[in-house]
Structure 1
Amino acid sequence: MKISRTVGSIATATLAIFLTTAAFAADIEKPECIAPAKPGGGFDLTCRVAQAGLKEEMSKPVQVSFMPGGIGAVAINLFNTTRTDDENAIVAFSSGSLLNIATGKYGQWTENDVRWLATAGADYGAIVVKADSKYKSLDDVMKAAESDTGSVIFGAGGSVGSQDWMKAALVLKSKGLDPKAMRYVAFDGGGEAIAALLGGSIDVYTGDVAEMASHIGAGTMRILAVMSPERLPAPFADIPTTKELGYNAEWVIMRGYYMGKNVSDEAYDAWVKAFKEAYKTEAFAKVQKEKGLLPLNMAGKELSDSIKGRVQNMREIAREAGLIN
């Protein structure tokens, strides 16, 4: 009889927990993803991943709204003033947002002023040379840079202090070289930078892996390394990572979401759970692929810890390069 009562009590408690969790999930009455830019860009894409990827995890569809201004500055300001505890809303961010935090472009707001929620997926940095380049490996590039940092001309579609500049700076810093001594040519976009590489105006292009997919079979360029923590799937499976080559220089072009810093643990955990469940599905993987993203599935504390470490690393590099005090 005691065993029967104990089993019954456990079953009742389990059911109560389940009903409480289910009830809270239903309480997210108006799930919203805010893209802090105009329609059509990367933040819009990030919100569309949440909209499609969480379809089976939410009782109501995620609505997408737009809040342009300061490449995310308006949004992070709002979620640190009037919407700090909004349990329905998530805000899209990217690695560019993290760099803006690191370099103080969001004013007083730092990586500690929001609750980092989950990722949508990622792209990764790539170290690229022309097919007939004298640099056959990343080690060749670095040996030349160690002999004379200015002898290697880097270039990409971003100015000094941008994500693309930061990739090259990280590689140099990993060998104790000063990023300020780097010769770096800024272009208006990746297309111009690739044209410059193929034309011989620059030696090394620090781009993104995804944009290189269409060039893999052309035989015009070679990827010396990808800046991912582990090897990527085909068509990049044969390309070594910077890490395995001995360089502490990873660059994840991360896309994801944050919430207001005063959101309750219950609401935050419900969103985290929704993303973690979605990550297990083929449907979410399909959405990532359709949006041109590679798998990078992190949520909750794991993501928060990762981001805070990344921002601090960016801040140190920016300070060493004289971009901030």
Structure 2
Amino acid sequence: MLDEAIAQKLDIEKFSSTPNTFCIADVGCSVGPNTFIAMQNILEAVGRKYESKALASELPEFQVFFNDHAMNDFNTLFTTLPPEKHYFAAGVPGSFHGRLFPKSSLHVVHASYALHWLSKVPEEVQDKDSPAWNKGRIYYTRASDEVANAYAAQFAKDMDNFLNFRATEIVVGGMMLLVMTVIQDGFHRSQSAGGFLYDELGSSLMDMAHEGLINEALIDTFNLPVYTTTMNEMARLVERNGYFNIERMKLTDPILNVEGPADMQMCTMHIRAAVEGVLTKHFGSEIIDELFTRFYQKAAKYPLIESKYKKGNLLFLALKRK
């Protein structure tokens, strides 16, 4: 899908006469190796595009910017860079919810499994006087409509900012290639596979609170800053923003295919890697091992409960800067 989008929609003619550097950014890159695979795939696809347009002699040098929060382990990222890479590498610390690059300096922006992270938890869900107060829960999928609407509103605001900033940074004719987890249109948010897992994590925390291992008030003041959109919702947000054309939009199956309890051990590791940082910051490191032991025991039920919701919950989205 990525190759096809670049081959058919990337307008290299519009910027082939600009300085001989092709700039790619992977926002929310984490530490690899998935980011390295994605960057290599993009480089090869762009190279084939130049060849198909009889512009092989004008093939530029490539600059790749790896972006993530400043707390990301950039040391690990750069010590594991592929030795055979055919690009110059640089790190750009900072949130992709803000401005990161100079105006019209990027040709391709890539983001994979990143845009579900919100810039912050919606304020209403942590306000005791708000109808959206999310007492006893850490996520929205099984919460009230008021909580879900607060999360959706925060995602819409964050996505508009993300599109606005990237529109400033990407050249006309340049592209964004996004991979996002989604809930299929027509499914209730409680039927989300990821939502099920986060809810079980919250349930594990509540079990620990009931046993006196943690203070329940700490749970009432904690919510995960994560939101899973739908394909139609994402399309509406892009169209409302107005800076990008939707060139490709396709649902695919997730890479992680959970088939039994043994695989849930790997799933638990993925969830822990994703959210351990925010959990530790709020609850302290002392509870983490116990929490994820309990989470695994609950999540082992996942293949039986949620198997019918595993298909088609990954979205590939190719956008072109107008």
TM-score for both structures, normalised by structure 1: 0.29
Q: Relative CO higher for 1 or 2, CA cutoff 8 Å, sep ≥ 6?
A: 1
Q: Which has the larger radius of gyration?
A: 1
TM-score for both structures, normalised by structure 2: 0.29
